[in-house]
Structure 1
Amino acid sequence: MTPHLRALPGDPASPPLGTSHLSEEGVGVDLAPLGYTEHEYLVDGTAGLHRHRDGVRERVGELPFTTRVLVRVPAPGRFNGVVAAEPLHPDYDSAPAWRVAHGWITATGAAWVGITQDHRSAATLREHYDPERYREVSLPAAGLGWDIVGSVLADLRTPGRSVLGEPAARVRHVYLSGWSNTGSFCRVFLQDGFHERHRLPDGRPAVDGYLIGISSGAAGASGYPPLSEDSEVLPPDDPRRTIGPAGVPVIELLSEFESETHHAALRPDSDAPEDRYRLYQVAGTSHHDPLTSTVLTNTAQFRRKGHDVSDWRIAEPTSDARPDAVARAVYALLHRWAATGQAPPRAARFTFAAAESEAPAGTAEELLRDEDGNVTGGVRTPWVEAPLASYRPHSTPAPGSCLPSPWAPLADPRAVAGLIGHMTPLPPTRLAGLYPGPGDRTHRFEEACARLTGQGLLLEEDARALLDAARRTRLPTPPDHHAAATTDEKGPRT
């Protein structure tokens, strides 16, 4: 069945869930000054139901669906032919890829497409957010999302069937990316035949490149979700958990959190034409980045509806790391690789504390750390190359905080806080040893930024923002060593 689409009204009194901007709450991204507009569609069609039996994918039926698709497009004449698409996350039907990449998307003139694909999200939209606006949304079974996303992507270049409208005829490159749960969605889509299944009329794939963000391939059902409710979970050492030749560029981007369990899914980088692959492990980062939490509007919209929405506060000092800055550069590298064939740089990997490990596949393994407690190897971010703190990928919840949403694939506050990074400030005496001169720390920070921008792993505008913040940071004053030297255990000398 060919998908059919209908536009939903742009009613300010009833905005889409996850709308780009809520001025009253001060959250989101105001599209108007950027020359972008937002549209929402209902898409009808049929999707296959799939499952694994004894490790083999089989199609067990087909069901009708009605989903919603959220679209952000630049003004006519500014569209660069690039579409950044993502399957929306079941946690409030949110858009974590837009959260990290919106700056690159809007600066370059790309379009963005977010697709509701999880059956839990249909109930969220219909029953808990806006029963009138979303009364027709129906995803009657888990596991329809693979074909739903594939069919929407395959139609992006076809005027009359594309959610992009008139710009469809000018689409040149479509990239699929996801973060956390939706990063794992992209892995399954790619590895279990859906990339091959959804193609253009001329035989080319509907997707020209993948960015799989903060998803550990070996981490049980979270790293490789079952195809449907009636589907087995692939074993942790199943080869499909490791990215294979795709015919298009694939980049995986991991924080320290996912790297702890990704060991069994590791593979070498490759520049082979049919196996273009990179892995970037970003030092000093964790799964959740609180500093970008105000980009998305979904939780604020649920608060407006009177729902209880937990904040995510931790007991430790929250990390000031900016993994989103590296992520935006990786989007640019993916596009350059797909569009021009220019391969991105290779980066060192993290190393594990144990030289030899007999831990079962998917089990968390400790990463090797330096004398300050920071991870060794990986993409060397300026906050670990010129450290003021020790960065760790797990935290503990503040009392009454970190409650998971009813639709999140998490168990309890400890699991939520375990996704959040924290930092422990280095002692003033250590900082005095690292940076004896007044400008030493800033100089080291600048050098680290310059190395990353030279590699293409940090965009110039993000480097400037990081440097501005670093220059405003004052180092704590070390203890007065002269005063300490003139003091014995009996007290100050007179």
Structure 2
Amino acid sequence: MRAVLQSALVSLSVSGLSWAEVPTTPTIVAVPPSGKAPLSSAQRRGTEYIDLARHGYVEEEYYLSGIAPAITAAGETLLQAPYTTRILVRKPIDPARFNGTVVIEPFSWFGERGAGWILTRDYLLRRGYAYVGYTLNINKPKRDPKFISEMAAEEADGIRQYGRIVNFDFMRRYDYARYAPLGTYSDPERFKRGSVADPFVPQSQAIAAQLAMALKSNAPQGPLTGLEVHRVYVNSWAVTAQVWMDYLDQGRHQQWRMPDGGPLIDAYMTGRMAYGEVGGDAIRVPRKMPDAVPFVTVYSQSELMHDAIEGIELPPDTDSPKLRYYEVTGMPHLRLADLGTEHSERLAADVGKGRDPRCQTLYDEPVEMLASALLDGMDRWVREGTAMPKAPRVARKGKSVVRDPATGNMLGGVRPPWISVPSSRYMTDQETRCGLIYDTKIPYSRTQLRKLYGTGEIYAKKFEEAKALSVKEGYLLPEDAASLRPIAKPGDF
């Protein structure tokens, strides 16, 4: 055992650091076929589907196993333990199509959703990226730490709504033979986040480092055999974004390195997660933020409203360290298009708000276009040194936001075309009290539309001008702008 633990991490000297560690390379074995598409498969009709064959891509699933430290939310390593999880790989069939970059993402607890994949899949396949999603979860415990609440009613409600889809039991129910071997260390009594049990897998950070190591090492028998990997990016949205705040805050970026001293991960993008919301520190900049790689956070209206209400100020954007925060107006926390397998959310009628006019219309604007543009900007920052744009924060007044009296929408922030030239008032649940994870919008009446724009033709012309501005600002790619249509239709006028 001593020999195993000593070989798990190898010390070396790195320029600018007194020491660093090379993570052990995990074992990667192909998952035997079971006759069913894997969870989160892009080949199965659903929220993650895309025609991989048409884009010249293939999807493969592997077991990833090794020994990894179990780390507390405070950064203390308590022990080393074995783990087995799975990775889902999407890669170009033709090596000439590969652009040298792999995007990695932990799947969400809720139905094994790949939120980052859903938001950027068209862009990734257009530009020749490889993608690796992976599972971070636990066996079904007597009390799942994801639901341990100080209020019994809240805990019971969460279990009723999500209890069937948030651990390995869900995966085994879907395909027992395929997912029965999976297991990671968990002990809610010893691992806390704030005053409650830590819902995050204690081995999360080390599993991520070992995965990046395996991908970037270009091993001859790896999951990307035949592709030459130069860069690994994180693109992690929703609850798993906290894993990356912890990773950076605890200095893992500097601690875990490639054998030549280079970084395991070359850029970090996280989105739709107010760090510290599930317990622990509500910090917005990692205390051990590296200088040389970008850390980019994308807030929807829900997250920015959370910070406004809590009085949490966001840091200024800087080029050293490479830090960007984007508060995106007109972006909801969750869309119907973002749901995972067996994942459902309550609608207005389910929470007694079926007649409330503020709760009737979910907004489902194509925010994937903005997410893709930001990922592209981060890529250029890494490869070309071209800094990403700096965006103003949403305007605050006390512990709330400032809204334009003419349009009803928030002032400041990143403003996609549907906010620059709006046809609705985009709200958050904190304001409407609709009781939904989905945010809602209040469409303008015909009278309001005519007052703002006069005619549908003028509105459409202004929308085209707003698209051109978004492209110029770096928040919309030209190829996406070509397919973006005005939100209001001629009949609305």
Determine the structure 2 residue equivalent to 1:427.
445
Shift of 1:395: 8.2
* Higher Cα radius of gyration: 1
| Further displaced range: 86-95 or 325-334 | 86-95
1:57 and 1:22, CA in 2 relative to 1: closer, same or farther beyond 3 A?
A: closer
Following the alignment from structure 1 to structure 2, what is the Cα–Cα distance between the partners of residues 336 and 81? 13
Q: Secondary structure at the match of 2:302?
A: helix
Following the alignment from structure 1 to structure 2, what is the Cα–Cα distance between the partners of residues 136 and 337? 40
2:273 aligned with 1:179: no
- Identity over aligned pairs, percent: 28
Matched positions, count: 415
Shift of 1:93: 1.8
Q: Can you list the C-alpha shifts for 1:326-368, whole angstroms capped at 9, x where unaligned?
A: 11100000000011101121111101132xxxxxxxxxx4211
CA contact (8 A) 2:456 2:489 kept: no
Determine the structure 1 residue equivalent to 2:401.
367
Which of 59, 63, 70 aligns to 2:81? It is 63
Determine the structure 2 residue equivalent to 1:164.
223
2:428 aligned with 1:384: no
Following the alignment from structure 1 to structure 2, what is the Cα–Cα distance between the partners of residues 30 and 9? 23
CA contact (8 A) 1:281 1:350 kept: yes
Following the alignment from structure 2 to structure 1, what is the Cα–Cα distance between the partners of residues 327 and 210? 32
CA contact (8 A) 2:373 2:477 kept: yes
Which of 36, 40, 57 aligns to 2:57? It is 36
Determine the structure 2 residue equivalent to 1:476.
492
Q: How does 1:457-472 map to 2 (within 5 A)?
A: 457-467=475-485, 469-470=486-487
Unpaired stretches in structure 1, ≥5 consecutive residues: 222-232, 303-308, 355-364, 398-412, 478-494
CA contact (8 A) 1:368 1:375 kept: yes
Shift of 1:122: 5.6
Determine the structure 1 residue equivalent to 2:159.
none
CA contact (8 A) 1:184 1:215 kept: yes
CA contact (8 A) 1:154 1:198 kept: no
Following the alignment from structure 2 to structure 1, what is the Cα–Cα distance between the partners of residues 393 and 218? 43
2:457 aligned with 1:439: yes
Unpaired stretches in structure 2, ≥5 consecutive residues: 1-7, 9-24, 140-165, 187-200, 349-358
Q: How does 1:121-200 map to 2 (within 5 A)?
A: 123-124=168-169, 126-141=171-186, 142-160=201-219, 163-168=222-227, 170-200=228-258
1:127 and 1:22, CA in 2 relative to 1: closer, same or farther beyond 3 A?
A: closer
- What RMSD over aligned residues (CA atoms) do the two structures have, in Å? 2.5
CA contact (8 A) 2:298 2:325 kept: yes
1:161 and 1:351, CA in 2 relative to 1: closer, same or farther beyond 3 A?
A: farther
Q: How does 1:244-255 map to 2 (within 5 A)?
A: 244-255=289-300
Following the alignment from structure 2 to structure 1, what is the Cα–Cα distance between the partners of residues 478 and 304? 27
Q: TM-score if structure 2 supplies the norm length? A: 0.78
Q: How does 1:196-235 map to 2 (within 5 A)?
A: 196-217=254-275, 219-221=276-278, 233-235=279-281
Q: Can you list the C-alpha shifts for 1:359-389, whole angstroms capped at 9, x where unaligned?
A: xxxxxx4211111321110111111111111
Determine the structure 1 residue equivalent to 2:301.
256
Counterpart residue type for residue 267 of structure 1:
P
Counterpart residue type for residue 439 of structure 1:
E
| Further displaced range: 80-89 or 365-374 | 365-374
Counterpart residue type for residue 177 of structure 1:
N
Shift of 1:248: 0.3
Determine the structure 2 residue equivalent to 1:5.
28
Shift of 1:134: 1.5
Determine the structure 1 residue equivalent to 2:376.
332
1:167 and 1:366, CA in 2 relative to 1: closer, same or farther beyond 3 A?
A: farther
CA contact (8 A) 2:284 2:315 kept: no
Structure 1 outlier segments of 4+, above 6 Å:
none
2:71 aligned with 1:50: yes
Counterpart residue type for residue 269 of structure 1:
D
| Further displaced range: 115-124 or 103-112 | 115-124
